[in-house]
Amino acid sequence: MDTPPVKTVDRGKEEVTKLCQYFTTNRQAFLAPGVKEAHIRQSLIDPLFEALGWDVGNKAMTAPQYREVIPEDSLDVEGQQKAPDYTFRVGSLPKFYAEAKKCGVNIGADPAPAFQLRRYGWSAKLALSILTDFEELSVYDCTMRPRPSEKASHARIKYFHFGEYPDRWRELWDMFSREAVWSGAFDQYAASKRKRGTSEVDVEFLKEIERWRPGAPCVGFTRGAFDFCGAPLFAAETRAHPFFPVPIRTDTPLSRSRQTIYQYLIDN
């Protein structure tokens, strides 16, 4: 078993400095149109996180269910299965995601990759996550509900150009190194950036329901906030509820999350 040595901040800085020099020398090759994202991950982004002390390749041969870095782990996002490029964990508990892009993607200005990452983090109730193509790196607050219309700068709390990595290494280390996560420093930093309480996804979901206008037809229950649940409602038995002057249909095979919200409506 090849157990990686404990990484120090100084050792990590040495490694990332060499990595930045390597990228500078070969930048045009990495920006070439035919270069795949997988190649960028293997050559640049994996080593970046290894410099932060993470065992990206599972060299320690930890049991699969306890790997500290999971590539393309499965995540349910509004009823669809997605796969964040990296999930960084303590035991089996996800702490943050990193989403990788090919070099040349405008991490600083393109809203689509930012929305994608924030949507992953929001769905998993993670506080912070990273978006990077190595040339640029953005840190996002994932406690704010993402919307497709928002700019790339929305909810971004840190931005790095690769040329800044060596000089600002302590910032990256204190936020996202393995040492910072395991020591609790990551949680302290994330807590200082939080803008809402602990049940943000569920609370926002219920706010969506409570914003529905009185008198909306029952179809709004399936085609509004619950469109992602996928199972249509079929009428046989109905019950009235203060949120809906018209009856709410109850005889349906609801998904687990949908049944929970439905029960909230009935009980409250």
| Domain end position, chosen among 193, 221, 246 | 193
Query: What is residue 199's predicted lDDT score, i.e. its pLDDT?
Result: 37
CA distance 138 to 124: 19
> Does a structural domain hold residue 4?
no
Domain of residue 223 covers 200-267
Reported confidence tier of residue 259, pLDDT bands at 50, 70, 90: very low
Which of 155, 89, 98, 172 has the alpha carbon at shortest distance from 132?
A: 98
Reported confidence tier of residue 210, pLDDT bands at 50, 70, 90: low
Burial of residue 229 (number of CB atoms within 10 Å: 0-12, 13-18, 19+): buried
Mean pLDDT of the region 112-133: 95
Q: What is the pTM of this model?
A: 0.71
User: What share of the chain has pLDDT > 70, as a percent?
Assistant: 67
Token reading at 268: 């409250």
Amino acid 259 reads Q
Query: What is residue 4's predicted lDDT score, i.e. its pLDDT?
Result: 60
CA distance 59 to 106: 32
Q: Point out the least confidently predicted range of 3-7, 83-87, 123-127, 255-259.
A: 255-259
- Assign residue 109 the CATH number of its domain: 3.90.1570.30
Which of 46, 102, 35 has the alpha carbon at shortest distance from 71?
A: 46
Query: What is residue 82's predicted lDDT score, i.e. its pLDDT?
Result: 76
Q: Point out the least confidently predicted range of 13-27, 64-78, 160-174, 216-230.
A: 216-230
Please indicate, yes or no, whether residues 157 and 242 belong to a single structural domain of this protein. no
Query: What is residue 99's predicted lDDT score, i.e. its pLDDT?
Result: 96
> Does a structural domain hold residue 58?
yes
Domains contained in the chain, number: 2
> Does a structural domain hold residue 1?
no
Strands 128-132 and 93-100: parallel
Q: Could you tell me how far CA 242 lies from the centroid of its own chain?
A: 36
Query: What is residue 83's predicted lDDT score, i.e. its pLDDT?
Result: 81
Please indicate, yes or no, whether residues 208 and 187 belong to a single structural domain of this protein. no
Which of 161, 132, 121 has the alpha carbon at shortest distance from 49?
A: 132
pLDDT digits (tens, 9 = 90+) for 134-149: 999 999 999 999 999 9
Q: Is the pLDDT of residue 239 over 50?
A: no
Mean pLDDT of the region 5-25: 95
Query: What is residue 178's predicted lDDT score, i.e. its pLDDT?
Result: 97
pLDDT digits (tens, 9 = 90+) for 36-61: 999 999 999 999 999 999 999 999 99
Q: Is the pLDDT of residue 213 over 80?
A: no
CB neighbours of residue 100 within 10 Å:
23
Mean pLDDT of the region 137-164: 96
Please indicate, yes or no, whether residues 44 and 172 belong to a single structural domain of this protein. yes
User: Higher-confidence residue: 6 or 205?
Assistant: 6
> Does a structural domain hold residue 3?
no
> Does a structural domain hold residue 229?
yes
Which of 143, 154, 134, 115 has the alpha carbon at shortest distance from 204?
A: 143
Q: What is the 3-state secondary structure (H, E, C) of the chain?
A: CCCCCCCCHHHHHHHHHHHHHHHHHHHHHHCCCCCCHHHHHHHHHHHHHHHCCCCCCCCCCCCHHHCCEEECCCEEECCEEECCCEEEEECCEEEEEEEECCCCCCCCCCHHHHHHHHHHHHHCCCCEEEEECCCEEEEEECCCCCCCCCCCCCCEEEEEEHHHCCCCHHHHHHHHCHHHHHHCHHHHHHHHHCCCCCCHHHHHHHHHHHHCCCCCCCHHHHHCCCHHHCCCCCCCCEEEECCEEEEEECCCCCCHHHHHHHHHHHHC
CA distance 195 to 220: 30
Mean pLDDT of the region 87-108: 94
Please indicate, yes or no, whether residues 143 and 122 belong to a single structural domain of this protein. yes
Query: What is residue 193's predicted lDDT score, i.e. its pLDDT?
Result: 75
Please indicate, yes or no, whether residues 140 and 220 belong to a single structural domain of this protein. no
> Does a structural domain hold residue 33?
yes
